[in-house]
A and B are shown apart, each in its own frame.
Chain A
């Protein structure tokens, strides 16, 4: 950016906090400013990313074509079996449907698709336009459900209702309609559901394996590599383990209220948080044998991991990182994981963090760190330059900005290709960070060749 005009909206000033410069009082969870180039998305997007990994369900988007196209297989949520979730189904609403209503079309589409694919359940996503024209999704779904004898669940994800958070809530409500409808026989007293993991790059398989080694049964994956039958009996589990709290915490709360299943918040990113997650689970069940096994597990994993990590830490010591992610919970783990690699976090922000999240971030970051809610490309590029960042961690829209500035990038979002969870994931993360930060390509960046870093 070559102009010297201010790039911060006055109205956004309170959404940016510099640790140590003023008392902490960040403004967040408010609607994006009209006209700001926010990096946020909508309700539909939130619902879609949460539910989509359920592989044996039909995911039908009721709306014009775009909503289905832009969410077609964009998240590498792997399935060990059916892959119906990787197809894109849309009622492809046309002008006449908007005028006369889309219910008949929806009914027909559901019938055709259920006959063709025999899914275990169907999710019907509402979009902006459906909210406006007032199709009765509930009624259509009820009718088809009765006729086809499978759960057909409306997801009230009209985009206009807000940002992704509301979408997570709509997804949780949809999931909750399935929970409690299955048999709970033969579930171990040491059992849990994994909430808020989407099996990107096969991560949930790794986590499941840890639990298996501890002697804990996983009842349902919610939702990575998810199956309808498992979710139906999820209320038989003794514990909900919730990661990515923004997306599935509502479900955990509903299950606690209705079925009395307690939950713990965990993160599988980074060494400390991963180990803590396993210990928390073991301690919850309080079985001494399990606690022993868990200690063994962590010890075994660390024995392999630490010497490997050391190599990377040596190179990365003192490098600076900026983080901008969807939900802020992930940011906690990233701050810690980066610290583990000897790196300094100089900026951290999220699209949809809550006040508590940001307060916690404020606690764990160093003085001078910029904490930001719902930012935009101009702000981001300014922060990157101001802080002399070596690594940017973000999602699809942030990647090219970092690259244009000649800064290393790591996708910690939908587009990551290697698992970053678990102990193994920490090593992958270190490798990925090392690869990009230490890459010789940044030597080609004009500002680096002149040695004039400030003047950009």
Chain B
């Protein structure tokens, strides 16, 4: 009973978050920035912020995570952080020599009102930014939005700073993957490549945060979108943005800036969402879908058909980020499961809640949705009426344990298991993995709870 302090009685709370289902913007910006090759993310604030973000990302990926900080002191907070950032830029290029520094703000620097474009300009004029090197920035006040907003803002900054139209369209499709795992990014690229489509993915943390063990410490790992590629995004035939909350802003900005048309889709989690992704790739690049992809789709469908009886009617509680919850809810409904409780800490708005209501319109009984909500409330719902399965980040494990409910880790952060950085949950293969996880969770429970008489060999 770890969460023995959770009470059954639900009271309206509006002055606080208990057991949050989100975190703050800067960490999302840092994660996105790590998806640029040779990039050193930089936190313009006090030392704690970036220490926490690095620790959290390190715990999630089990990889070294680098970032720098302006290391604010009280002086900087009174007189502004310009001197700190200028010195940082100077030091960083002298010693670490990254291709680009991606600066994000914090609640502190936002509130004291540092003007980042002005400071970056000053650094350039003073010759602190070497030839061929870049400093980009985005504003990520921690008191607005969530980590998803931070990811979205930094991704958009990549467009704002780099994308340019070079006069003719390349036969390339831009992919904005959303706040997903490096493995997911890899899978999206693999699918596009299987269709013979050239893509530029940004940000791209594959081969950055799921790198191999080599006996060497590489401060800047091999992966990540290059500056060259980022510039080229303005000349692509189109952009597919996966997940409106994490990727929509950048896609729209690119459309406005360079007239690259964009399609904003759900994250390709599950059959229909992956269909939509593949179809969009097909249309945009004007290619045919190869048999190999149809084959994967068929395999996924096969699992669903073979095991549909176990999915039927299972009540599921979901906690996570808006893009993930939306896609997961659709997927679950499509295989006859019932997402009955859904919480995100991200203030995703009324429209999002409405979308979830529509997706779950056919689900019998009351569907509870709270946007933004927290895990304390989520737990209270479960205490009042339990579910058969929980899907969410590692923090859900307290609830899973207390209420003895099967649990699948999905989303950010996962602090206690490996796999997420290597095995995707997007695309048909990712869908198959997700189905396997769901079935394992449900069937392990069935086996555990069965009496000797009910205990079955074949399932």
Q: Which residues of A contact B (CB under 8 A)?
A: 1-3, 5-9, 31-45, 60, 63-72, 74, 82-84, 86-95, 97-98, 105-106, 108-109, 112-113, 116-117, 127-129, 131-133, 159-163, 377-378, 381, 396-397, 399-401, 403-406, 444-448, 456
The residue that B73 contacts in the complex, of A40, A97, A162, A381, with Cβ under 8 A, is: A162
Given contacts A38-B47, A88-B19, contact A66 B91 (CB under 8 A): no
Given contacts A66-B24, A116-B11, contact A381 B48 (CB under 8 A): no
**Docked pose: A31 CA to B395 CA in angstroms:** 34
Q: Is the CB of B7 within 8 A of A35?
A: no
Q: Is the CB of B143 within 8 A of A64?
A: yes
**Docked pose: A57 CA to B61 CA in angstroms:** 33
The residue that A445 contacts in the complex, of B5, B88, B215, with Cβ under 8 A, is: B215
**How many B residues, CB 8 Å from partner?**
80
Q: Can you list 18 contacts pairing A with B, beta carbon distance less than 8 Å?
A: A41-B51, A43-B46, A45-B52, A65-B24, A65-B345, A67-B24, A69-B20, A83-B4, A84-B5, A87-B5, A98-B107, A98-B111, A98-B141, A129-B111, A129-B143, A400-B63, A400-B64, A405-B216
Given contacts A34-B71, A34-B85, contact A39 B51 (CB under 8 A): yes
Q: Is the CB of A129 within 8 A of B15?
A: no
| Chain B residue at smallest Cβ distance from A60 | B16
Q: Is the CB of A31 within 8 A of B71?
A: yes
Q: Which residues of A contact B52 (CB under 8 A)?
A: 41, 45, 66-67, 70-71
The answer, yes or no, to whether B74 is at the interface (CB within 8 Å) is yes
Q: Is the CB of A40 within 8 A of B46?
A: no
**Docked pose: A117 CA to B68 CA in angstroms:** 39
Q: Is the CB of B20 within 8 A of A88?
A: yes
Q: Which residues of B contact A87 (CB under 8 A)?
A: 3, 5, 18-19, 376
User: Shortest beta-carbon distance, A154 to chain B, in Å?
Assistant: 16
Given contacts A84-B5, A160-B108, contact A404 B20 (CB under 8 A): no
Residues facing A in B10-42 (CB within 8 A) are 11, 13-20, 22-24, 26-27, 42
User: Shortest beta-carbon distance, B378 to chain A, in Å?
Assistant: 13
| Chain B residue at smallest Cβ distance from A380 | B217
Given contacts A159-B46, A396-B55, contact A456 B215 (CB under 8 A): yes
**Docked pose: A127 CA to B24 CA in angstroms:** 14
Q: Is the CB of B48 within 8 A of A37?
A: no
The residue that B91 contacts in the complex, of A33, A60, A131, A163, with Cβ under 8 A, is: A33
User: Shortest beta-carbon distance, B185 to chain A, in Å?
Assistant: 20
Q: Which residues of A contact B69 (CB under 8 A)?
A: 32, 34-35, 38
| Chain B residue at smallest Cβ distance from A89 | B18
Q: Which residues of B contact A32 (CB under 8 A)?
A: 47, 69, 71
Q: Is the CB of B219 within 8 A of A1?
A: yes
User: Shortest beta-carbon distance, B280 to chain A, in Å?
Assistant: 34
User: Shortest beta-carbon distance, B406 to chain A, in Å?
Assistant: 22
Q: Is the CB of A6 within 8 A of B95?
A: yes
Q: Is the CB of B62 within 8 A of A40?
A: no
Q: Is the CB of B58 within 8 A of A397?
A: yes
The residue that A72 contacts in the complex, of B19, B71, B112, with Cβ under 8 A, is: B19
Q: Which residues of A contact B85 (CB under 8 A)?
A: 34
| Chain B residue at smallest Cβ distance from A381 | B217
Q: Is the CB of A35 within 8 A of B215?
A: no
Q: Is the CB of A70 within 8 A of B214?
A: no
Q: Is the CB of A400 within 8 A of B95?
A: no
Given contacts A93-B143, A397-B54, A404-B64, contact A159 B108 (CB under 8 A): yes
Q: Which residues of B contact A (CB under 8 A)?
A: 2-5, 7, 11, 13-20, 22-24, 26-27, 42, 45-49, 51-56, 58-59, 62-74, 76-77, 84-85, 87-92, 94-97, 106-108, 111-112, 141-144, 146, 213-219, 345, 376, 395
| Chain A residue at smallest Cβ distance from B86 | A34
Given contacts A35-B91, A37-B66, A404-B217, contact A397 B16 (CB under 8 A): no
Q: Is the CB of A378 within 8 A of B96?
A: yes
Q: Is the CB of B217 within 8 A of A5?
A: no
**Docked pose: A95 CA to B58 CA in angstroms:** 29
| Chain A residue at smallest Cβ distance from B101 | A35
Q: Is the CB of A66 within 8 A of B4?
A: no
Q: Is the CB of B55 within 8 A of A397?
A: yes
**Docked pose: A32 CA to B69 CA in angstroms:** 9
Q: Is the CB of A5 within 8 A of B95?
A: yes
**Docked pose: A399 CA to B64 CA in angstroms:** 8
The residue that B64 contacts in the complex, of A64, A401, A447, with Cβ under 8 A, is: A401
| Chain A residue at smallest Cβ distance from B97 | A5
Q: Which residues of B contact A448 (CB under 8 A)?
A: 215
Q: Which residues of A contact B26 (CB under 8 A)?
A: 66
Q: Is the CB of A9 within 8 A of B18?
A: no
Q: Which residues of B contact A84 (CB under 8 A)?
A: 5
Q: Which residues of A contact B18 (CB under 8 A)?
A: 87-90, 113
Q: Which residues of B contact A1 (CB under 8 A)?
A: 216-219
13 new A-B pairs (CB below 8 Å) besides A44-B48, A90-B18? Answer: A32-B47, A34-B69, A37-B67, A38-B71, A66-B49, A67-B48, A69-B23, A82-B5, A112-B11, A159-B47, A377-B219, A405-B216, A448-B215
**Docked pose: A190 CA to B22 CA in angstroms:** 49
